[in-house]
Amino acid sequence: MDTLKSLYAEAVRVVENAYAPYSRFKVGAAVLMENERGERRVFTGVNVENASYGLTVCAERVAVFKGVSEGYRKVIALSLLAVKDGEVVPVLPCGACRQVLWEFAEGDTPIYNGERTYSLGDLLPGGFRLD
C-alpha cells in the first residue's frame, strides 16, 4: 500500500500540468514500471486534450507510453486521480486505458484511485492479448 500511496502522491504532484481546456477535467497518473533487468522506475502522465476530441490522450496512457519509450515494459502498479472545479475526484481508467494496461500488466496489477485499490483483472475481465 505504501507504493500505491507514493504513486498517488506523484499523480497529485503532476495533475495541474494536465491540458484540459475543453472538459476542465484534469487527470494525473503515476505508474511503477519494470524493465528487463528488473530495474523499477515511476513514470507520470496527465491528460492532454485536443480540439478534435478523438485525439485526446488519457493520463494513464501518457504515463505508460513514457515508460515504454524508456525501455520499461512491465506495469507493476498505477495510481490516478482527477481534479474538477478544484475538487479531487476518484476515477478509474477508461476502457482504452484498461486495454493498454493489459498489454503491459498482469490481471492482479493494483490500481489505486485514492479511495480504493482495484485489480486490473477486476476492471477488465478477459482483457485481449495475442499470446
- Tell me which of 34, 39, 60, 103 is the catalytic residue: 60
Q: Which residue type occupies 58?
A: C
Cell numbers 492482479 correspond to 108
Give the HSE-up count for residue 40: Cα atoms under 13 Å, Cβ half-sphere: 8
CA angle (86, 101, 44) in 5-degree steps: 45
Told to judge if 34 belongs to the known catalytic residues of this protein, a careful annotator would answer: no
Cα separation, 64 vs 117, in Å, equals 19
Give catalytic residue positions. 60
